[in-house]
Each structure stands twice: as structure tokens, then as C-alpha cells.
Structure 1
Amino acid sequence: MSSADDDALAVLGLLIILKNKNKKNIRKEWCKEWLKKRKMYSHVNLFTELKIVSKDWHNYLRMSEQIYLNLLSLVSPLIRRKDTVMRNAISPHERLTATLRFLATGRSYEDLKFSTIISPQALSSIIPDTCETLFKVLCPDFLKFPNTEQDWKNIAEKFEKRWNFPHCLGAIDGKHVSIALPPGCGSEFYNYKNRHSMVLMAIVDAQYKFILCDFGTNGRISDGGVLRNTVFFEKLQDSKLNIPAAELVKNSNRSLPYVFVADDAFPLRTDMIKPFRQADLNAYEKKIYNYRVSRARRIVENAFGILASRFRIFHTEINIEPKNIDSVVMASCALHNYLTETNQANYSPPEILDREIFDNGTIIQGVTSADSDMIDLDRRHQGNITNAAKKTREDFMNYFVNEGQVPWQDNFIR
């Protein structure tokens, strides 16, 4: 074969390759036949039977029928889509139940399609959109951040009444939310727990409700860095949160500032206190102080535990785009507050919380205690602490061992 023939064959092969490359994939069918029978096979048909046993309805959607119908009325105007000449739109009822089931189980879109009879491609759009809508409609009433001094004082009063901790504005902590590694991200989300995550930073009140949720910092950032990345911390430093000034504690002549309680992963400040390090527990007063701070701070751990036990998506590697993970997490936090306030008896009954016997302070551990994936403390260091911050901690310590003591506190120190 001559060189001219070789060149001709090479050109012909190149043309064939280019033709196949530019050829569009022709869809064999627009929609699978069984997906067209959603009215017949969809899980929404199951709800007629679930109404008979309210507990089953609650287990399926994590809420009662009445609470669900109220939620549906709130989101329907924003998630309803118009029918077209080609096909009928997926109803708000189907969109919301698919989303709640996704949050409750952590199942993949591919798995969820068999019960919802909705394609994974449609679910990948429906679920993030519905989550975004849930947060939008619930946030104004159920995830409100305190704006006035009286708002903060109302929170502090509940901490003092429920947990014997005066002038406490909330418990702060962070939770690593595991994610599947997004393409091309390398080690950006790789944390010291040897997996990929994004961090949910939250403040919780005395009733296990989120006051503030900040999500999105990648898991590689240090714990102190996570806090510094929040708008909350920026405003805290600039004194723009309308936090009340220090004042006398009830039934005491002692003036104490209003503070947040945190663990050793966070900085010690005049407005944020944390326990003494284990190595520094060389005095009775410090041990009592640590017990009292930990007693108030564990509320945030319980809140994360309830969230994870009710919405099992937090027990999986969330395998969706990072921008959509934000919608999923924030919607779950808003739903947590919504259900805690409207349906607490079923959503967070006493048996799933750490309970305390008030005549002796004994804590009965709830089932949620191990569910939270909290920030690790082993790598923390003291850093630079101001004298004013140290004095604030000492003032609370002195209060707890004097007029602010509780009868059982000596039973919990060694």
C-alpha cells in the first residue's frame, strides 16, 4: 500500500472519529414506563394507611399529620409548578414528602426514586429547592436571632431557671457534617478525623433550640478558625449584638456579665467562658466551676444529637453538590426548631435527652448523647488570654461555690 493510500485512510479515520464525537446521543425514551405511573405506585398512596396509626406517620416523616399539613400549606405556594402540554407537574405534596424522606433516611436519589417514583435527575433539583424553601418560610418565626437586649435576657432567664446558670446567652459548639468528596477539591474538606466534612457552628438555647446556625466552613479549617469565619463572631467582637451589660445576679450582690458557654475549642473572652483544662484542675473551686459550665454546655450536644437522630442524613456522607448541602443542613436545623416548638412531645420526648434528677443532680444519659459528632478538643491550646477574660471566669467560679451553689454539686467532683 502506497503512502498516499495510508494518508487517505488516516484522513478517513479522522473524519469518522470527528463525526462520532459530534454526534448527539439520541434518547431512546423520554421517561421510563414505570416512572410514568407515579399516581399508581408513589409512596404518597401509603399515607392513607399511615393515618390509621399516627406513630407510623410520625416515623415516616418525623412529624404528625397535622404538623405536616401545616408545613405543606406554608411551602406549597413557593414549590408549586405549572402543568405543561407535555406532562403534569410534580405536586407540592410529592415534593415535600420526598424531601422529608430524604432528610429522615439519608437515602440516595437513586434509591429514593423507587418509593417516590420520581427520577433521580428530578429529585436532584426538587430536594435542594424544597430545602431552600423550607428554610425560607421557617426561619423568620422559628430560627430568629436575638436582636434586642430583652431577647437576650429572655434566653438567659430560661438558662437560669432550667440549668441554674445566670446570665447565659447560649451554648456554642460545632459539628462536622460528613460529605462525599466533591470532584477536583483535593484535600480542601479533609479534616483531622480523616474524612471530608463541612462544619455546622451553632448556638443553642436552654430548650434545645438553635439560636444561630452557620454552615459551610470546610472541615480542614481549625476549630477556632471556624468561629472566626462567622458573621456572629465579627459582630461579637465589634459589640454589635446588643448584648446586655453586666448586672447583679438575682438573689446576689454579685455583678456578672452576660456570656456564652463553650468548650476548650473556643477562646476565653469576657463574653465567652469555657472550662479549665484538665491539667489545671488543682482546686475544689475549679472543679465545681467545670461541672457547672459543662452542665449548661451539654445542651448544645443534645441538640446536635436530636438533629442527627431525627434526620439520618447526618449519619451519611452527604453525596450532593456542596452548594446544595448548605440548603439541606439549614433546612434540617429550621425543621428541628419548628418541630421542637410545635410537636416536642413526639419529636424530642424526655427519654431521648440527658435528664437530670434535681434533688441529687444525677444525669440519666439520653439516646442522643452519642449521636453528635462534635469538634475534638485534644488539639486545643490556651493561646493568649486577657486578664479581663480570666477575671470573668473567676467571678463565675466564685459565684458557683458561694451564693450560686446547688445542693448536689459536690457529688460530681473528684
Structure 2
Amino acid sequence: MAEIYKQRRRIGFYYLVFPMLKLDDLRFKNYFRMNCTQFEELLALIAPRIHRQYAIREPIETEQRFIICLRYLASGDSMASMSHQYSVSQTVVSQIIRETCEVIWDALYPLVLPLHTHKEWREIANEMNIKWQFPHCIGAMDGKHVIIQSPQHSGSAYYNYKKSFSIVLLAICDANYVFTYVDIGVYGRQSDGGVFKNSLMGQKFAQGQMNVPPAEEIYEGSSKYPYALVADEAFPLSPYLMRPFSGRDRLSTEQKIFNYRLSRARRTIENVFGILAAQWRIYRKPIIGKVETIENIVKATITLHNWLRKKDISNREQSFISAGMIDEEANDGSIIEGN
């Protein structure tokens, strides 16, 4: 054990490279998807929960446990590769990632995924209207298939229409590319509409338990219209969810304009999924692990995304989302697609 610890100190990334990396903020940010100040702030939040006491052998340092997890999420490297880089056994790497992801979710989700009040829903709707000209829209919703290695003895439960194995990340976001509600872990074979209907948040929307404001006038003297989510054709129409008109060739001009406006608002959730996969490259290939571990990985990336995005908003920066990453509106009203 002593020899392993000495080897780790002699050739491990944490001891050789990490101290120099902290001196170069740009490289640090590229490596961990956050700057050094944000790293230290986040480490202070979770450190008490991932710290290990010395017992039979020297424990992995708290900071090193955190950077192993962050780098795994940011790079998408295999656990075997992480094991060689940090001179830690593959079993320990797996344990660190599983435990740290769970701690990140527990520490951050009360801060970045709170339940919304009437006032907060109205603020979301107002921002959606200002940015995408769709009134009374309280968020855009869609599902993302998180590709995984086929779980043992799972049959076709996780096999989706794209002919891969996955779990579904069903999410709602606001105009600022922040997740507001998520449902994680449903079998990939289910449709997005079915996932929403059977999810806890879908049931709460149906039962009127999401604190959504009552129907109000869009402008003075107009009829009262409900506040609603926007989604694609995979979701059923309801008082709290709007989808495009079907039958493209038979639509009236007004219906085509409605579809265009709804599509503009709905692109926000597609952008959020794109940002998530661009920043956390764990999504670039099938994730290997138990389904429970993969769910914790997804939860960690969701909360990290929101935490970093909200830091940008409060500081009026575009640090987490780089220029050209998201869709933008040109002067003539057309959409310039993000990369």
C-alpha cells in the first residue's frame, strides 16, 4: 500500500500537473469546464461530504476525488484511462465517480432546481416572450436519449427506436438555457409523450400541483389564455402543454405563424441538450456502468450545468456558453443555428 501511495505521488496527475494547471485559468477551464474560482467554491460546498478519514491506508485527497469526477464528466474518458492518469485503481475510480456525482446532486439541486412560485413562472414566461415572442410560455420541453451500454438481463427494455440502448432524460428549460425540471432514468423504449405522462412532474402538471399561474390576459382587453409548456409532436395537446398544428400542407396562414413561433421557443431545449453534450463529453459515447450510477452521472451534469449557467447570468457573462454555441436571431428575424 505504501508503494502504491509513493507511486501516485511520483507520477500521478494530481501531484505533477494539477498545481501548474491552476496557474493557467484558460487551460484549467478547458480541462474542468469551470474556472479556478468556481472550482474552489464548488469544492467548498461538497468537500465535507466526500472527505475520507485516515483508517487502514492513506485516503485519496478530497480535492483529488473531486477532480477525478469532474474530468471524467468533462472528457468522457474511460475509467481505465482515468485509472492510469491518476495512478488510482479502476475500482476506486468507479467508486469515486459514483459517490461524488451523488454528492454533487444532493448539494446543488436545492440551489439550482427549486420549485417555482407563480411569480417565478411569470418571470420565465416574460423572458420567453421577450426573447422568442411566444407569450405565456413557461418553458420548452423535450426528451434526450442518454446512450448506455446494454444492462445485463434487461432484454429490450432500454432498446430505443434509434436502435441503441438508452435511458431518457426528460427536461424543461427556460429562455436562459437553464433546466427547470428534469425526470431521469426511464427505459429508452418509451416515447417522450409516454415518459411525460407517467413521470412525477407530468402527473403534477395534470393535477394542477405545479404552482402554474391561472389563465390571464396576454394584453389588456384580450381573452384569458393559460400558461403552458411548448413541445414537439411527440407530446399530447393539453391545457398546460402546446404542440404544433399537424398537417403542414393544409394549415392556414395563422396556424403556420403559430407553428413558427412555437418552433422558435422550443429550440431552447434543443440548445440546452446541445450545450450539455458539448460541455460534458461523457454524453459523446455510450456510458458504461450500472443504471443507478449512470442516473447519478446525468444528475450531476444537470446540476453542474445549472450552477455554472446561473453564475454566468448573475455576473452577466457568457463564460460557460461560448460565442456561436447557441441559436441566435439575425436582424431580419431569421435564426442563425448554433454549433
For 2:335, the equivalent position in structure 1 comes to 363
For structure 2, the residue ranges without an aligned partner over 5 or more in a row are none
| Aligned mates of 1:276, 1:141 — CA distance in 2 | 37
1:184-263 alignment to 2 at 5 Å?
Answer: 184-250=153-219, 253-263=222-232
CA contact (8 A) 1:210 1:337 kept: yes
For 1:20, the equivalent position in structure 2 comes to none
**TM-score normalised to the size of structure 2?**
0.94
For 2:322, the equivalent position in structure 1 comes to 349
| Aligned mates of 1:345, 1:295 — CA distance in 2 | 21
1:123 paired to 2:123: no
Task: Kindly state the Cα deviation for residue 345 of structure 1 after the two structures are TM-superposed.
Answer: 2.0
For 2:42, the equivalent position in structure 1 comes to 71
Aligned residues: 334
| Aligned mates of 1:35, 1:224 — CA distance in 2 | 51
Task: Kindly state the Cα deviation for residue 265 of structure 1 after the two structures are TM-superposed.
Answer: 0.5
For 1:100, the equivalent position in structure 2 comes to 70
| Aligned mates of 1:264, 1:163 — CA distance in 2 | 19
For structure 1, the residue ranges without an aligned partner over 5 or more in a row are 1-29, 368-414
| Aligned mates of 2:272, 2:233 — CA distance in 1 | 19
Relative to 1, partners in 2 of residues 1:362 and 1:35: Cα closer, same or farther, differing over 3 Å? farther
Matched residue of 2:319: which SS?
Answer: helix
Relative to 1, partners in 2 of residues 1:58 and 1:233: Cα closer, same or farther, differing over 3 Å? same
Task: Give a deviation string over 1:321-344, Cα, whole Å, max 9, x none.
Answer: 001111000110000001111145
Matched residue of 1:202: which SS?
Answer: strand
Larger displacement relative to structure 2 (223-232 or 296-305) = 223-232
- What amino acid is aligned across from residue 80 of structure 1 in structure 2? H
For 1:49, the equivalent position in structure 2 comes to 20
Relative to 1, partners in 2 of residues 1:252 and 1:262: Cα closer, same or farther, differing over 3 Å? farther
Larger displacement relative to structure 2 (174-183 or 245-254) = 245-254
| Aligned mates of 2:61, 2:248 — CA distance in 1 | 59
Task: Kindly state the Cα deviation for residue 222 of structure 1 after the two structures are TM-superposed.
Answer: 2.4
Task: Give a deviation string over 1:93-117, Cα, whole Å, max 9, x none.
Answer: 0111000011011111111111122
CA contact (8 A) 2:226 2:240 kept: yes
Relative to 1, partners in 2 of residues 1:280 and 1:255: Cα closer, same or farther, differing over 3 Å? farther
CA contact (8 A) 1:171 1:203 kept: yes
Relative to 1, partners in 2 of residues 1:292 and 1:239: Cα closer, same or farther, differing over 3 Å? same
Relative to 1, partners in 2 of residues 1:255 and 1:113: Cα closer, same or farther, differing over 3 Å? same
CA contact (8 A) 1:281 1:287 kept: no
For 1:294, the equivalent position in structure 2 comes to 263
- What amino acid is aligned across from residue 82 of structure 1 in structure 2? Q
Task: Kindly state the Cα deviation for residue 163 of structure 1 after the two structures are TM-superposed.
Answer: 1.6
1:163 paired to 2:132: yes
**TM-score normalised to the size of structure 1?**
0.78
Larger displacement relative to structure 2 (137-146 or 246-255) = 246-255
Q: Percent identity?
A: 39
- What amino acid is aligned across from residue 264 of structure 1 in structure 2? E
Task: Kindly state the Cα deviation for residue 305 of structure 1 after the two structures are TM-superposed.
Answer: 0.3
Matched residue of 1:199: which SS?
Answer: strand
Relative to 1, partners in 2 of residues 1:51 and 1:317: Cα closer, same or farther, differing over 3 Å? same
Task: Give a deviation string over 1:37-95, Cα, whole Å, max 9, x none.
Answer: 222222223122223331110011010000000000000000001011x3111111011
CA contact (8 A) 1:217 1:229 kept: no
- What amino acid is aligned across from residue 71 of structure 1 in structure 2? L
- What amino acid is aligned across from residue 34 of structure 2 in structure 1? M
- What amino acid is aligned across from residue 360 of structure 1 in structure 2? D
| Aligned mates of 2:76, 2:172 — CA distance in 1 | 24
Matched residue of 2:318: which SS?
Answer: helix
- Whichever of the two has the greater Rg, that structure is 1
CA contact (8 A) 1:142 1:337 kept: yes
Give the one of 52, 72, 91 matched to 1:81: 52
Matched residue of 1:266: which SS?
Answer: coil
| Aligned mates of 1:196, 1:72 — CA distance in 2 | 33
Task: Give a deviation string over 1:251-289, Cα, whole Å, max 9, x none.
Answer: 562422101000001011111101112445432111111
| Aligned mates of 1:279, 1:249 — CA distance in 2 | 27
- What amino acid is aligned across from residue 167 of structure 2 in structure 1? M
| Aligned mates of 1:35, 1:115 — CA distance in 2 | 14
CA contact (8 A) 1:166 1:249 kept: yes
- What amino acid is aligned across from residue 349 of structure 1 in structure 2? S
